[in-house]
Copies of this chain bind each other. A is one copy, B any other.
Amino acid sequence: MIAVLCGGVGAARLLRALADVVPAESTVGIVNTGDDTVMHGLSISPDLDTITYTLAGAIDPERGWGLRDETWRAMEALDRFQAVRPDGSQAAPTWFNLGDQDLATHFYRTVRLAEGASLTTVTAEISAAWGVRQRLLPMCDERVSTVVTLADEATDISFQEYFVERHHAVAVSAVRFDGADQARLTAEAAAAIALADTVVIAPSNPIVSIGPLRALAGMDAALAARRHTVVAVSPIVGGQALKGPADRMMVELGHEASVVGVARLYAPIARALVIDPLDGHLAGAVAAEGIEPVVVESVMSTPEIAAALARATLAAAGA
């Protein structure tokens, strides 16, 4: 069994690639929920949905999130409410785009959670509805909210306000995970990590995607205790994030935006770090951080490259 610590797009693509190498049923994704939010009264779990839709073959390939052949009629119809919305109201925001078909997933999740079902249970139901064969687990059933402090304004905003509304184009001075100290890695996720032959840290943002998982009590200790079978895939290639703001965010928060910076973050919990040949010249510097560099093409631009990456990742963990 393979447990994969997941953010969104990068993790989704690695999970899809792993299914070309090992049976899908042998993989468990343990997914960041720090990005989860409530919009229009609906409970939204962006990373879980990106992974579900990707593994279902339903993701929009251009955007990397949301469903293919999507329409946006509900969102367009929200426009008329902007003029009447009182100051300070959170009603009818249009910056967080939800497709019409995608809404059904949020409807289902919202009602099931209101009925008292855990996010773990609801996620299993949604995965099953989409025919996903990998097991997907939210990292916790409690609400954890990633909060970003803006460097210029010294104000706190939610992750989605930072990522979507501000297009992650503003400098960040701090990141915190509200609720993480009260939340617990679920029993299912803890068991998956305990029982897995290999733990893979997906090529997701180390700060805001993998960070919330590591903020849960006992997570780092559990990984450190089995560090010899944990392997991470660098989300930084050639000093740049494959997607999103990981590179800028790392610099803003005092890390190095390179595979060496990633190595420093993951050395306590992983024995190997998969890096792209573009960063081959930094292999020595990675090793100097106490984590074994494994040089493999890691930009998953074709299914073949992705499968080779998945194979090399498992091999690096001794699987």
Give A contacts to B, CB under 8 Å. 40-43, 71, 73-78, 80-81, 83-86, 89-92, 100-105, 107-108, 110-112, 114-115, 117, 125-126, 128-130
Contact = CB atoms under 8 A, between A and B. Distances in A.
Q: How many copies does the complex hold?
A: 2
Nearest to A100: B73
A73 B68 CA distance: 13
Contact of A41 (B83, B101, B114): B114
Contacts of A103: 74, 77, 103
A114 to B, nearest CB: 6
A42 B40 CA distance: 8
A104 B92 contact: yes
Nearest to A40: B107
A77 B89 contact: no
A108 B91 contact: yes
Contacts of A78: 104, 107-108
A37 to B, nearest CB: 13
B114 A89 contact: no
A194 to B, nearest CB: 27
A219 B105 CA distance: 43
